[in-house]
Amino acid sequence: MIKGLKKWRLFSLLALFAVFMAGCGNEEISTFQPAGQVANDQFKLLLLASGIMLLVIIVVVIIYTVALFRFRRSKLGEDHIPEQVEGSHTLELIWTFIPIVLLLILAIPTVHYTYKLGDVKAMGAVDEEGNAENLVVDVTAKLYWWEFEYPDLGIVTAQELVVPTDEKVYFNLIAADVKHSFWIPSVGGKLDTNVENVNKFYLSFEKESDGLKDGVFYGKCAELCGPSHALMDFKVKTLPRDQFDSWVTAMQKTAEEPVVANADGEKVFSQSCIGCHAVSGVGESGAQGPNLASFGDRNRVAGFLEHDEENLKDWIRDTQKHKPGNTMPSFSKDQISDEDLDALAEYLMGLKVAK
């Protein structure tokens, strides 16, 4: 009876463990499903570390369990006085040196990957004609949104990072107000965006985002930055190089050939919004509000709401309700009438650069 109970316990424990391990999380955000070299290296290190650590846990648990079963007072009798052992030099040496060896096994790849992942020497490399060899993206984190400038391509976007697959993409990271942290879990570990200095690192994206649930990878702010820290999401679209190039060309064209899906909406925009938001994708970072040149292509409104006109209008009416502490003003009916808001929403949704 008792034995059966124990088996049942063991079984349910194993089943629970299997569920945990099998649960690899969602492909667009889980570190268990690495979608690039950096995340992959980190995942390999995770497997190695977990293996060593599991070994340690197992050894401890075995000694612990055996001791607990063998040396109970109920078995030995109330009056039993155990031998007062002082210690053992041999044992002390064993459990000092074996852990040192185990840690060395972990330390060597740790140091190797630390240097490998920190290598940004190729960042400024140029070919014979003076063109940059690698794509560089300047990321500016702001309360609570992300700005992505492509300095060599002369374009800027926000909230949705677009990158080519199968090449190293280098990042310059900085924060404009308070400290944030730039993290795309399935592509690679995070790096902080400090307020006073530019941090540099690279990521490589080896999976097209097209097949994913929302067609994008998820990016997060990983450093507490105020009330809406939890909502400071961004998305990552990874495209094959040729599609990326055509996206860049389309972005560059938005300066001369603006898309106007609703002329009334454009008017409202130029009265109420243009002070902070640009609709031309050509430019540099440093804007008051997110660049909206590719707004219609995006996956979310304000970085986290479902991408539809209803949410867009709700957002404009009351930004603080949705994202407390953000710096965009809300617009009442006196400022933008319902009709104007409809027109504005249609205009914004029409701002597309991808086909």
Partner 1 sequence: MSSVAQKSGFGATLWDWLTTVDHKKIGILYLLGGLFFFVLGGIEAMIIRLQLITPNNDLVSAGLFNDLITMHGTTMIFLAAMPILFGFMNAIMPLQIGARDVAFPFINSLGFWMFAFGGLFLNISWLFGEVPDAGWTSYASLSLHSPGHGVDFYAIGLQIAGGGTLMAGINFLVTIINMRAPGMTYMRMPLFTWTTFVASAMILFAFPPLTVGLFFLTFDRMFSGNFFDHTMGGNTIIWEHIFWIFGHPEVYILILPAFGIFSEIFSVFSRKRLFGYTAMVFATVLIGFLGFMVWAHHMFTVGLGPTANAIFAVATMAIAVPTGVKIFNWLLTIWGGSIKVTTPMLYALGFIPSFVMGGVTGVMQGAAPLDYQLHDSYFIVAHFHYVIVGGVVLAIFAGLHYWWPKMFGTILNEFLGKITFVFFFIGFHLTFLIQHWLGFWGMPRRVWTFMDGQGWNLANFISTIGALLMAIGFTVMVINIIMTTVKNERVGNDPWGDGRTLEWAIPSPPPFYNFPATPLIRGLDTLWVEKMEGSKEMITPAEPITDIHMPHGSIIPMLMSLGLFIAGFGAMFHQETSWGLGVLIFGLAFTFVTMATRSVKDDLGYYVTKEQILQDQENFKRGRN
Give, as ranges, the residues between 143 and 182 that touch partner 1 (CB under 8 A). 173, 175, 177-179, 181
What are 162's strand-pairing partners? Answer: 237
Nearest approach in angstroms of CB 20 to partner 1 is: 6
* Contacts (CB under 8 A) with partner 1, residues 41-70: 41-42, 45-46, 49-50, 53, 56-57, 60-61, 63-64, 67-68
Q: Is 81 in the site for partner 1 (CB under 8 A)?
A: yes
Tell which positions 313-332 bind partner 1, by CB under 8 A: 324-325
Identify residues 233-252 at the interface with partner 1 (CB under 8 A). 233
Question: Taking CB under 8 A as the criterion, which residues in 106-125 touch partner 1?
Answer: 106-107, 110-111, 113-119
What is the pairing mode between strands 199-204 and 168-175?
antiparallel
Asked if 220 touches partner 1 (CB under 8 A), the answer is yes
Per CB under 8 A, does 72 bind partner 1?
Answer: yes
Task: State which of positions 296-315 bind partner 1 (CB under 8 A).
Answer: 304
Q: Which is nearer to partner 1, 115 or 256 (CB)?
A: 115
Min dist CB 268 to partner 1, Å, is 29
Give CA separation, 288 vs 60, 96, 232, 273, 277, in Å.
56, 57, 16, 11, 7
- Paired tokens of 337: 């009438």
Q: For partner 1, which stretch binds (CB under 8 A), given 81-89, 131-139, 285-293, 328-336? A: 81-89
Binding mask 3-32 for partner 1 (x = CB under 8 A): -----------------x--x-xx--xxxx
Other beta carbons within 10 angstroms of residue 265's beta carbon come to 22
Q: Is 334 in the site for partner 1 (CB under 8 A)?
A: no
Count CB neighbours of 304 within 10 A.
Answer: 19
**Residue 191 binds to partner 1 (criterion: CB under 8 A):** yes
Report the residue number, 160 or 192, with the smaller CB distance to partner 1.
192
Q: Which amino acid is at 67?
A: A
Q: Which of 149, 144, 153 is nearest to 161 (CA)?
A: 149
Count CB neighbours of 318 within 10 A: 12
φ, ψ of residue 149 to 5 degrees: the values are: -105, 140
196 binds partner 1 (CB under 8 A): yes
217 CB contacts (<8 Å, ≥6 apart)?
Answer: 28, 29, 35, 184, 186, 187, 205, 209, 235, 236, 237, 238
